């Protein structure tokens, strides 16, 4: 029997069915292997060291320019720990920073994923020096890793975008697999994804680097010196590399080099922008006004401050953002969070004014007949109003010792919730949780006020409560 036949039947030898990628037609150059062709196309050179060879490309760009962080702003960027002052000292000189971005054979991580291109960048001679290492085949990895280790020793403050969860753990694994390197860790690692998310996700929705470039970096009146116009689709990168490995198809890789260069420049520009925002945040409370999109950025900043525990600074910024003027949905969020902050700092007057503002939901009764679910915004407004009622009730019950006012509020909230439930304005599973909370408070308040029970625990319908409407 034909053994080839036997192997042909084995499902395990067939690639997974859902793999649908169009690989470009093979075009092996006449001048030599794919690696040679690539070097030719890029103008890259061959690096040699103790562990072998690899391809390396050096480019210098005038922008983004070096930034000059101050200690206060920097401390907002660094991880919070007892060692913060020491970290700030280590990071204060931006010429010690090393930007890093890798291109890999997949997102699976683990030991079967390779970082076939490692791009690094640093500020030098008034501009950004970019160096890219490339493995022409998988056995060139060792020499690439040696170069990287040496660069990190020189500039031990690593700056990445999502590097803490992806790029660096992958590189650590690659180092471990070589069994030759020890202590290659940088002194500090700044991952800009987290602050970027906290500041800009509200306004932009996503936090992909190219979206940030477009919406944040490119908006200052200065446009970026590079364009993502015909940037490659990064999900195709692994397959492009595999095709190159198997067939020597070098042309698409030029696009990967370009993509990586733009990522590194974007990263450097982002670092500058974040620090500038922190800097300006210090003085912003006095600014008279700003465009709306800046106001949302200020809000993002205030949330970051709040998360870092700088409540006073955060409150200042929240107030500023509100003063600048925010779109309704975002304004509500700001009001809710500021109210919580104010409450925690015992500034009840401010908290109450915010909660009262949230209670003013336009046209509440108008949609009673309409059975269709309302737009997202109206839903959120209603939720916020009910939540504000609850917060006010908590205040009146426990702080102001005015249980009757609390009771009124809770009853109103239950009515609103019931209406929302009936007209399907809020999803059912959601309302039941809120409902049980409100009912618990209601019963307790009723006992304290000595009021006659108006509700049975199992019903949420507010038939007898016209008095509060």
Q: How far is the CB of 374 from other proteins (least distance, A)?
A: 21
The CA–CA distances, whole Å, from 372 to 7, 377, 423, 425, 461 equal: 59, 14, 7, 7, 20
Q: Is the peptide bond before 64 cis (omega within 30 degrees of 0)?
A: yes
Which residue, 139 or 370, is less far from other proteins as judged by CB?
139
Cβ atoms 338, 319 nearer than 8 A: yes
Which residue, 243 or 316, is less far from other proteins as judged by CB?
243
Which residue, 10 or 125, is less far from other proteins as judged by CB?
10
Question: According to the 3-state scheme, what is the secondary structure of 92-145?
Answer: CCHHHEEEEEEEECCCCCHHHCCEEEEEEEEEECCEEEEEEEECCCHHHHHHHH
Which residue, 2 or 286, is less far from other proteins as judged by CB?
2
Exposure string for 388-413, b = 16+ CB within 10 A, e = fewer: bbbbbbebbbeeeeebebbbbbbbbb
Q: How far is the CB of 144 from other proteins (least distance, A)?
A: 14
Q: How far is the CB of 44 from other proteins (least distance, A)?
A: 20
Q: How far is the CB of 432 from other proteins (least distance, A)?
A: 15
Sign of CA dihedral 61, 62, 65, 66: positive
Which residue, 181 or 242, is less far from other proteins as judged by CB?
242
Q: How far is the CB of 148 from other proteins (least distance, A)?
A: 20
Cβ atoms 132, 261 nearer than 8 A: yes
Element (H, E) at 162: none
Q: How far is the CB of 246 from other proteins (least distance, A)?
A: 7
Q: How far is the CB of 13 from other proteins (least distance, A)?
A: 5
Which residue, 43 or 110, is less far from other proteins as judged by CB?
110
Q: Are strands 157-160 and 45-49 parallel, antiparallel or unpaired?
A: unpaired
Q: Are strands 97-104 and 157-160 parallel, antiparallel or unpaired?
A: parallel
Q: How far is the CB of 179 from other proteins (least distance, A)?
A: 11
Which residue, 171 or 389, is less far from other proteins as judged by CB?
171
Round to whole Å and give the CA distance between 454 and 378: 29
Backbone angles phi, psi at 355, to 5 degrees: -65, -40
Which residue, 20 or 82, is less far from other proteins as judged by CB?
20
Q: Which residues of this protein are in contact with other proteins, per CB under 8 A?
A: 1, 6-7, 9-16, 19, 105-108, 110-112, 114, 137-139, 177, 238-239, 242, 245-246
Residues 6+ apart with CB under 8 A from 311: 305, 341, 344, 345
């Amino acid at each position: 029997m034909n053994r080839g036949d036997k192997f042909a039947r084995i499902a395990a030898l067939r690639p997974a069915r859902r793999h649908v990628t169009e690989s470009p037609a093979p075009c092996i150059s006449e001048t030599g292997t794919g690696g040679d062709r690539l070097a030719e196309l890029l103008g890259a050179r061959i690096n040699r060291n103790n562990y072998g060879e690899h391809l390396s490309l050096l480019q210098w760009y005038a922008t983004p320019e070096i930034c000059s962080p101050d200690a206060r702003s920097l401390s907002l960027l660094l991880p919070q720990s007892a060692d913060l002052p020491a970290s700030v000292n280590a990071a204060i000189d931006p010429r010690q920073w090393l930007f890093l971005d890798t291109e890999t054979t997949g997102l699976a991580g683990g030991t079967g994923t390779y970082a076939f291109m490692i791009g690094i960048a640093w500020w030098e001679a008034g501009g950004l020096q970019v160096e890219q290492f490339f493995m022409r085949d998988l056995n060139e990895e060792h020499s690439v890793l040696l170069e990287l280790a040496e660069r990190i020793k020189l500039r031990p403050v690593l700056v990445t975008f999502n590097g803490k969860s992806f790029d660096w753990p992958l590189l650590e694994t690659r180092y471990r697999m070589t069994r030759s390197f020890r202590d290659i860790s940088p002194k500090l690692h700044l991952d800009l994804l987290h602050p970027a998310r906290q500041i800009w996700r509200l306004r932009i929705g996503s936090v992909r680097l190219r979206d940030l470039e477009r919406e944040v970096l490119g908006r200052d009146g200065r446009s970026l010196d590079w364009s993502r116009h015909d940037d490659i689709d990064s999900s195709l990168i692994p397959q492009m590399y595999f095709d190159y490995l198997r067939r020597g198809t070098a042309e698409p890789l030029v696009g990967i080099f370009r993509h990586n260069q733009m990522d590194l420049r974007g990263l450097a520009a982002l670092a500058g922008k974040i620090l500038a925002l922190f800097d300006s945040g210090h003085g912003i409370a006095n600014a008279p006004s700003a465009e709306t999109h800046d106001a949302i950025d200020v809000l993002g900043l205030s949330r970051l401050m709040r998360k870092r525990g700088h409540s006073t600074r955060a409150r200042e910024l929240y107030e500023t953002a509100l003063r600048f003027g925010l779109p309704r949905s975002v304004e509500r969020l700001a009001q809710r969070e500021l109210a919580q902050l104010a409450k925690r700092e015992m500034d009840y007057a401010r908290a109450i004014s915010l909660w009262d503002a949230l209670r003013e939901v336009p046209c509440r009764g108008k949609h009673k007949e309409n059975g269709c679910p309302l737009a997202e915004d109206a839903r959120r407004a209603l939720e916020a109003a009910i939540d504000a009622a609850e917060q006010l009730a908590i205040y009146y019950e426990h702080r102001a010792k005015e249980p009757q006012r609390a009771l009124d509020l809770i009853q109103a909230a239950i009515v609103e919730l019931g209406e929302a439930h009936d007209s399907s304005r809020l999803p059912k599973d959601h309302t039941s949780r809120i409902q049980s909370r409100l009912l618990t408070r209601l019963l307790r308040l009723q006992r304290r006020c000595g009021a006659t029970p108006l509700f049975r625990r199992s019903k949420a319908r507010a038939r007898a409560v016209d008095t509060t409407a």
